[in-house]
Amino acid sequence: MIDLPPMTPPLKRSVTIDGHRTSVSLEDAFWKALATQATARDMTRAALIGQIDHARPPQIGLATALRLFVLSATQQQDG
């Protein structure tokens, strides 16, 4: 049997990027991980999301880019 982490359905939140409001749906674990990463970088979660948005290729959706960022950051921390 596999142990799964706590799971939630995606939660939609509004964020402002360059003065433009948009909404993003992510599971709670990703919202928490983004907040942790933002704190580690001494920035707000919204600022971090803005940086990720600017860095992502146009064919990649923002929610996907955020999930992949969290995965990469977690993998780098683990080692």
Entry pTM? 0.90
Domain hosting residue 32, numbered range: 26-78
Q: Tell whether the model's pLDDT for residue 6 goes beyond 90.
A: no
Residue 46 domain-assigned (yes or no): yes
Please say whether the beta carbons of 45 and 34 come within 8 A: yes
Contacts of 31 (CB under 8 A, 6+ apart): 11, 13, 45
Nearest to residue 67, comparing CAs of 8, 27, 20? 27
**Residue 72: both structure tokens together:** 């990469």
Instruction: Report the pLDDT value the prediction gives residue 11, as an integer from 0 to 100.
Output: 94
Residue 7 domain-assigned (yes or no): no
**Residue 6: both structure tokens together:** 């706590």
Nearest to residue 62, comparing CAs of 28, 21, 24, 11? 24
Number of domain units in the chain: 1
Over range 66-77, report the average pLDDT. Answer: 94
